[in-house]
Amino acid sequence: MENRLRDRIARILTSTAHSLVDTIEGLNEEGILEAALREVDGAIDEVHLAQGEALARKHHVNKAIERLNQERNRLDAEAETAVQSGRDDLATAGLTRIDDIERQLPELENQMLEHKGEVERLGQSIESLRARRAQMADDLLSLRRTRATAPGGTPHALGREAERKAARAENAFNDRYAKATGTDRSTLHAREAEQARLRELGELSRQNRVQSRLEALKARVQPPHPSVN
């Protein structure tokens, strides 16, 4: 989730209706709440869009993993055929590509987990925004009912009451926001550092692994030399 969208969600979940709406001369309490509801609706639409994009990225990575697994299986069979035909050079090329694939797969699997987590966090944000919208809609309905049943009440007094209701809901939504959008950055950085070390280690030992694979494959499938009569 990009920072701008995360900040927008935070502002909606932790702010009162008054602070969500720019000051407009002549806008009464009912107009402020209606404008705040439109702001929440816009944020929900934006989060829905971001969730769809995260789902698309997750689907793309999943397809990439499937393709690499299929390629690995095909190359394994082709390397065996190459060894049986006495073409160690072709077998080495295939085994080198298999080694590359097996280094890529863990990274793609990590990306899959990250995209899955992003989809879940965005879903939680949508739930929180919907709950916030419901609370604002209740405030608007309460304001309208109060005006209908107590015509003597002043707009200023009614506005203070709506402000107090919104403030009481703020702490609860702060908790919901933390659960919906929190990111453990230290864990993310540690994971990235670990992946970098693994990539470096893989590059240093790549040739040895390929050679070991070739020797094991030759020992398994290479036909015996014909006997001399």
> Is 183 within the bounds of a domain?
yes
> Is 202 within the bounds of a domain?
yes
pLDDT per residue of the chain (229 residues) written in tens, 0 to 9? 667 777 777 777 766 666 666 544 445 777 777 888 888 888 889 899 989 999 999 999 999 999 999 999 999 999 988 888 888 899 999 999 999 999 899 999 999 999 999 999 898 888 888 888 888 888 778 877 877 775 554 555 545 555 555 555 554 554 554 455 454 455 656 777 777 777 776 666 777 778 788 887 888 876 566 555 5
> Is 188 within the bounds of a domain?
yes
Q: What is the pTM of this model?
A: 0.59
Choose among 149, 130, 127: nearest CA to 138: 130
Rounded CA-CA distance 103/61 in Å is 15
Q: How many domains does the chain have?
A: 1
> Is 59 within the bounds of a domain?
yes
Residue carrying the six token digits 């407009």: 24
User: Which residues neighbour 85 within 8 Å (Cβ) at sequence distance 6 or greater?
Assistant: none
> Is 229 within the bounds of a domain?
no
- Contact between 18 and 163 (Cβ < 8 Å): yes
> Is 224 within the bounds of a domain?
no
> Is 228 within the bounds of a domain?
no
Residue carrying the six token digits 């990274």: 107
- Contact between 59 and 31 (Cβ < 8 Å): no
Q: Please tell me the predicted confidence (pLDDT) of residue 212.
A: 80
In the chain, what is the straight-line distance between the N-terminal and C-terminal CA atoms, in Å? 74
Q: Which range of residues forms the domain containing residue 57?
A: 3-219
Helix-, strand-, coil-residue percentages of the chain, each rounded to 5: 85, 0, 15
Q: Hey, what's the torsion of the CAs at 114, 115, 120, 121, to 10 degrees?
A: 70
Rounded CA-CA distance 31/18 in Å is 10
Helix axes 185-221, 29-84, angle to 10 degrees: 20
Rounded CA-CA distance 30/190 in Å is 49
Rounded CA-CA distance 119/5 in Å is 14
> Is 226 within the bounds of a domain?
no
User: Which residues neighbour 109 within 8 Å (Cβ) at sequence distance 6 or greater?
Assistant: 65
Q: Please tell me the predicted confidence (pLDDT) of residue 181.
A: 47
User: Which residues neighbour 57 within 8 Å (Cβ) at sequence distance 6 or greater?
Assistant: 115
